[in-house]
Structure 1
Amino acid sequence: MKYQIIIDDEVKEQAARAVAEGRILNLKNDIVFKSFFSKECKESAYCRRKMLSAVIGQKVEETKVLNPELLPTRTDGKFPRLDIHCKLADGSEVDVELQNSMYKDDQIKRSIYYAATLTHNALSSGEPYSQLPHIYQIMFMDFQKIEDKKLHHAYTFKEREDNTELSDIMQIHYIELPKINEILKKLADGAKELSEVEFWSILIKMGGNPQTQSLLQKLTAMQEEMDMAQALLNKMSRNQQEWENQFGYERFVHDCISREKYAFNNGLAEGEARGRAAGLAEGEARGKREMAFETARRFLQMGLPVEQIAQGVGLSAEEIKRLS
């Protein structure tokens, strides 16, 4: 089955209304997320460096997006890659993804596979292993996978018993966006300190929600990079094409889920119907067989020969002998 993102007249009208109403794009939308952090402009480059520095835990001076070609170009009729693949100044490679709850069950294996693929592709044939760069797989997840209150988890290779680190050459980072609720409670209680990872998580989770604009304005005063991030998001939100991409992708996701649900329900209904038919057939066959045994018993009581009874009721001679 082929899925496509289609930007039609209805989507364009929705986008035009959103721009006219001064609405803010949703950073939790995969396409908006990639566009925000992948643009070749100073605001996007700044936000990308600051976000990566916060997650990785070291200052990122320069980033080169290796797959920028899909956005902000049109998405009509093709499925875009929505990860952000970057190379840093020291040669390290980073893959940033925004994951929704449909990937919750296989998220850990998924991220390990992605990181392993990046590692495998980081060296060309013949290059020495000493040239292997650091690989960072970063997952902003709009669901909770780890049962604690910690927002950001980072994993490397470590010894199982004493926890000594073997290597940090490959790192997997999980940022679970629903956990910002605990952070918001602290802000409501008067806390003024936010880590940079907390700041970016709040922006991604709530940046497109009109009910949180006052909170985001307060955070702008607390975090220097928030001003640049808000300026970029506001600028993008005045661009009709950005809205067309958001609405087109939202409809695409809805269509995918609807088709999968339709196929599942049809398969379930078909299976139930097949089961009912099989059950009825089995029940009918069992009833006929029980009736044959009862008739055979009566014939035996009448003294008829076994072979004659078997021929008359459709049972084997051995079955009738067991009855006798």
Structure 2
Amino acid sequence: MMSKGLLDPKVDFVFKNIFGSEKNPEILISFLNATLKPKNIITSVKIKGNDIAKQFIEDKYSRLDVKATTSNNEIINIEIQLKNEHSMIKRSMYYLSKMYEEQLGEGEDYSKLGRTVCINILNFKYLKTERFHTAYRLKEIETNEELTDIIEMHFIEIPKLEENSDEKDLLVAWTEFLKDPESEKVRSLEMTVEEIRRAKDQLVRMSNDAEQREIYEMRAKILKDKVSALNKAKEEGREEGKIEMAIEMLKDGEPIEKIIKYSKLDESEILELKKKI
């Protein structure tokens, strides 16, 4: 939770309620124009799957993402992630491909396929680049010539936003809002950017609503439990890997000292494994 009682807009339930609101589509329009910087400004959006059913809130594997189509005939998916999860790029590519493929019914013309964009907002550093915003398309490996812009993937890594970033860049402004909506920077932005003021108003309304706060607390806990479960699975996988390595080295007749060094298992654990081979 943010200081002074405002809910954290980086929790997917809150993010979806602000940026996926059919009552305030100008918030999403502003964010998309800031992120995509299109030649033809997006003037309207059709938001899909706006309702958040109780079973989605309680399911730690559900994706409370924002889906929309734009006035530029683009299909957009925005997902916000608090913690690093396994195979995130592959997972994002899977959803991007699925969105692209689902546009056509059987026998329909490929020319009907619209531009498909996936935007990943991350509350952690993930990519090697130093920039907080990166975008990827299909390009020729050596000449960098673009094949098509029909599919596009964006990453916004909040912790990479630098203190001296230019707030006149609207994406910087929106990222500041997500980073800390109660900061002096955001208070100043509210005065100049109407959409940010509306987003902050919506956040204040949610924060003052007892029912919304209760749902938020539940969702925040579920997301925390999900991360703990993923970390535990990762640790268990690591232990299994050590045991497999030790067994293979024992079968190869390697000395115990060497197996301890490479597997990082205790001598007693290795001797126990030896009995089972």
- Shorter chain as denominator, the TM-score bin is 0.7 to 0.9
CA distance in 2, matches of 1:122, 1:134: 10
- Where in structure 2 are the equivalents of 1:96-111 lying within 5 Å? 96-103=78-85, 106-111=87-92
Equivalent AA in structure 2 for residue 91 of structure 1: N
> What does residue 231 of structure 1 align with?
201
Change in CA separation of 1:276 and 1:262 when aligned onto 2, cut-off 3 Å: farther
> What does residue 50 of structure 1 align with?
30
> What does residue 36 of structure 1 align with?
18
SS in structure 1 at match of 2:84: helix
> What does residue 156 of structure 2 align with?
175
CA distance in 2, matches of 1:28, 1:253: 11
- State yes or no: 1:278 paired with 2:273: yes
CA distance in 1, matches of 2:159, 2:269: 43
> What does residue 161 of structure 1 align with?
142
- State yes or no: 1:150 paired with 2:124: no
CA distance in 2, matches of 1:151, 1:256: 25
Give structure 1 stretches of 5+ with no counterpart.
Answer: 1-17, 283-324
Larger radius of gyration: 1
- State the Cα distance separating 1:102 from its structure 2 match: 2.5
CA distance in 1, matches of 2:230, 2:134: 32
Contact 1:75 1:245 in 2 (8 A): no
Change in CA separation of 1:257 and 1:137 when aligned onto 2, cut-off 3 Å: closer
> What does residue 240 of structure 1 align with?
210
- Where in structure 2 are the equivalents of 1:1-324 lying within 5 Å? 23-42=5-24, 45-58=25-38, 59-70=41-52, 77-78=58-59, 80-103=62-85, 106-180=87-161, 182=162, 184-186=163-165, 193-207=167-181, 212-259=182-229, 268=239, 275-279=270-274
- State the Cα distance separating 1:280 from its structure 2 match: 5.7
Per the normalisation by structure 2, the TM-score is 0.77
Contact 2:20 2:67 in 1 (8 A): no
Q: Percent of counterpart pairs with the same letter?
A: 25
SS in structure 2 at match of 1:185: coil
Change in CA separation of 1:133 and 1:246 when aligned onto 2, cut-off 3 Å: same
Change in CA separation of 1:86 and 1:150 when aligned onto 2, cut-off 3 Å: same
CA distance in 1, matches of 2:89, 2:196: 30
- State the Cα distance separating 1:84 from its structure 2 match: 1.1
Change in CA separation of 1:185 and 1:83 when aligned onto 2, cut-off 3 Å: same
Q: Which has the higher helix share?
A: 1
SS in structure 2 at match of 1:198: helix
CA distance in 2, matches of 1:134, 1:76: 30
> What does residue 254 of structure 2 align with?
none
RMSD: 2.9
Contact 2:47 2:68 in 1 (8 A): yes
> What does residue 256 of structure 2 align with?
none
CA distance in 1, matches of 2:67, 2:195: 22
Equivalent AA in structure 2 for residue 223 of structure 1: V
Where relative contact order (Cα < 8 A, 6+ residues apart) is larger, the structure is 1
CA distance in 2, matches of 1:257, 1:22: 26
Equivalent AA in structure 1 for residue 26 of structure 2: Y
Per the normalisation by structure 1, the TM-score is 0.67
SS in structure 2 at match of 1:102: coil
Bigger shift: 143-152 or 45-54?
Answer: 143-152
Give structure 2 stretches of 5+ with no counterpart.
Answer: 244-264
Change in CA separation of 1:167 and 1:203 when aligned onto 2, cut-off 3 Å: same
Change in CA separation of 1:147 and 1:222 when aligned onto 2, cut-off 3 Å: farther
